Structure 1
Amino acid sequence: MNNRCTIIMVSCGNATIKINNHIQTVTSPAVLCISQYDNFQCLEHTHLSAKAFHFDPWYIKACLKFENLEDSIPIDEKFVYDRNMLYMFTKHHGNFQGIFYLTPQQYVHINELMLMIGAETYAQSDDYWTCRIRRMLRQTLNCIFDIYVDQCKLKFYELSENTNPVTTCTDYIHDNYQNDITLSFLCELVHLNRTTLNQRFKQQVNCTCIEYLLHYRLKISQELLSNTNLKIDDIATQCGFKYSSYFNRQFTKCLGITPSEFRKNPTGYSMFEGEKISKL
């Protein structure tokens, strides 16, 4: 929705979703924080139960608008924390797309707040119902923000690798695997020649740059084969393969089984975890 942030509470079941070209299966209990900047699509779901609440940033603080949420834009210091709290919605990149998995205690607390927000929105019982919703919304955001901060601490060493050319390339692959990606482009991206870049990949992930791209695309295809009813030709296209025949050939070569056979028994094969795809 335009000019809105959205909290989605997944309380039951699971869904295969696509956020900004990232495809993954979300299993309850979880919270999704998305905004007008995100391209969100639910591809498939099973026994899914979810609730959502949309709000404009100014509902948190009157001075906050989408156009002044960037750090480079000065605002009153006392409102900086409130702006930082919206990073969960506005600063999606790489593997972080605003998805938070919850402990049972976190789920109970956030779900209770979401239920009360829904009840107040429906009842609108007196002149102060919007004030109560704002208070409960802040409590919800504070809780999710604590989870976000903890996750950022855990990712500290990964984030510190932003200057690593292999990390730069893999992040780009994760964001753009569905597009045409060439080795020449990735070399230009990190200012290395082909030999040096492939050596770095071999040292860190035990495969060449293009092998990593192929394996990542196959990993995404496995998720789609396992969790959606999309046609195999459509899966090939969504995963960046120009020709379904090439997709079938590479899938069979790496797993020793065709995509159709894999779909019949997806639990018999492991997902790509960074080094190779292999049978269990």
Structure 2
Amino acid sequence: MVSDKVELITVKKNNPNYILPVWFGEIDDNNDIITSKDRFLLVFVNKGTGIIKIGDQKRIFTSPCVFCLNEKETIELEKSKDFNSKVFYFHPSFINSIFTLENIKGQKEGLTMSDIRDLHWLDSFIKRKENYIGIYTMGPATTKHIESILNNIKNQMEIQSDGYWPCRTRSYFLELLFILERLYNSIDTMEEVVLDNIPDDINKIILYLHNNYQKKITIKDLSNTFHMNRTTLNNRFSEATGSTVMTYLIKLRVKLAALMLKDTMISISEIIERIGISDTSHFGRIFKKHMGCSPTEYRKLNSRFY
């Protein structure tokens, strides 16, 4: 939903003439996510699963994840379960006072080299790639860090304990943008299923897989749950996504395992249990097939803890 009626600003308590072009809030299943024609929007989804439509593109999402949208993009929750999120609206001038919605794009007239360096902080909101439409998934450590920063931002904006709260709010947000820059520069290259034009009953199966990957799932289970015989289910799923149901589930589990290997130091055995696989040797084989190396090697190559 796009709105020009909601004032997405924060006013200084002891000086109503001092206005900060930012706003913090929380959204759940009972509320729409509002976009604005003059604000960028960060949505941190800390709970829930669903299908989201950004512009004319649909994607499945599973918490924890972050949506980064610019002022021209719209967002709509088409389906969601137990959805809860923190939202932060900001004008680009909050990053650099010279930034406008016009000069940060195109020829970037009037911007110095220093301004252009600052502009890279907004890559997650402005730039789009074939495999990135503004959505990041994250491991537990990054999730915890982002949530902590957002809580600090919320506290600064609500309490306004002294005259430095606008500066502290901005410093916390820059810290958050630093994390987003790292995510943008290391966007996961594993395939994502584009949900545009996929039949609703197949979308429901995809949503089920994302919500239950930690459990044992068989074709028989899915056939019973969605009242479709196994052959029809597999054929229709393959036609819609280009992948069989079980191959899709394996890729999903491998992707989640890779996130935890990279962003945590929890044991591989615990990771395997959390993604719904019981056989260590089987996990090792499928992980190497999809990622090109063993789980241990992947962690050594990619973990920030090494």
Q: Which TM-score applies when normalising by structure 1?
A: 0.59
Structure 1 stretches (4+) deviating beyond 4 angstroms? 224-228, 261-268, 273-280
How far 1:218 moved relative to its partner?
Answer: 3.4
Change in 2 beyond 3 A, CA 1:93/1:151: closer
Change in 2 beyond 3 A, CA 1:102/1:80: same
Q: Deviations over 1:175-204 (max 9, x none)?
A: 9x6xxxxxxxxxxxxxxxxxxxxxxxxxxx
Report what 1:55 is aligned to.
Answer: 90
Change in 2 beyond 3 A, CA 1:218/1:26: closer
Q: How many residues align?
A: 191
How far 1:43 moved relative to its partner?
Answer: 1.1
Distance in 2 between residues matched to 1:266 and 1:93, nearest whole Å: 38
Change in 2 beyond 3 A, CA 1:275/1:99: closer
Distance in 1 between residues matched to 2:90 and 2:82, nearest whole Å: 27
Distance in 2 between residues matched to 1:266 and 1:30, nearest whole Å: 33
Report what 1:112 is aligned to.
Answer: 148
Given that 1:110 and 1:140 are in contact with CA atoms closer than 8 Å, whether structure 2 keeps it comes out as yes
Report what 1:218 is aligned to.
Answer: 198
Between Structure 1 and Structure 2, the one with more helix by share is 1
Report what 1:86 is aligned to.
Answer: 122
Report the more deviating stretch, 86-95 or 132-141.
86-95
Q: Deviations over 1:24-50 (max 9, x none)?
A: 221111111112111210112111121
RMSD of aligned residue pairs (Cα, Å): 3.3
The amino acid of 1:129's aligned partner reads W
Distance in 2 between residues matched to 1:81 and 1:133, nearest whole Å: 20
Report what 2:157 is aligned to.
Answer: 121
Given that 1:16 and 1:23 are in contact with CA atoms closer than 8 Å, whether structure 2 keeps it comes out as yes
Q: Deviations over 1:86-144 (max 9, x none)?
A: 12112235442110011111111111000110111111222111111000000001111
Given that 2:46 and 2:84 are in contact with CA atoms closer than 8 Å, whether structure 1 keeps it comes out as yes
How far 1:264 moved relative to its partner?
Answer: 4.3
What are the residue-to-residue correspondences of 1:10-21 with 2, within 5 Å? 10-21=45-56
- Report SS of the residue matched to 2:198: helix
1:139 equivalenced with 2:119 (yes/no):
no
How far 1:8 moved relative to its partner?
Answer: 0.8
The amino acid of 2:59's aligned partner reads Q
The amino acid of 2:46's aligned partner reads S
- Report SS of the residue matched to 1:66: coil
User: Unpaired segments of 5 or more residues in structure 2?
Assistant: 1-35, 209-223, 247-306
Given that 1:7 and 1:34 are in contact with CA atoms closer than 8 Å, whether structure 2 keeps it comes out as yes
Given that 2:198 and 2:240 are in contact with CA atoms closer than 8 Å, whether structure 1 keeps it comes out as no
- Report SS of the residue matched to 2:105: coil
Change in 2 beyond 3 A, CA 1:56/1:266: farther
User: Unpaired segments of 5 or more residues in structure 1?
Assistant: 159-173, 178-216, 229-260
How far 1:227 moved relative to its partner?
Answer: 4.7
- Report SS of the residue matched to 2:102: helix
- Report SS of the residue matched to 1:67: coil
Distance in 2 between residues matched to 1:130 and 1:138, nearest whole Å: 12
Given that 1:225 and 1:262 are in contact with CA atoms closer than 8 Å, whether structure 2 keeps it comes out as no
- Report SS of the residue matched to 1:137: helix
Percentage of matched positions with identical amino acids = 22
The amino acid of 1:38's aligned partner reads E
Q: Which TM-score applies when normalising by structure 2?
A: 0.54
Distance in 1 between residues matched to 2:200 and 2:104, nearest whole Å: 33
Change in 2 beyond 3 A, CA 1:89/1:6: same
- Report SS of the residue matched to 1:14: strand
Given that 1:226 and 1:263 are in contact with CA atoms closer than 8 Å, whether structure 2 keeps it comes out as no
1:22 equivalenced with 2:57 (yes/no):
yes
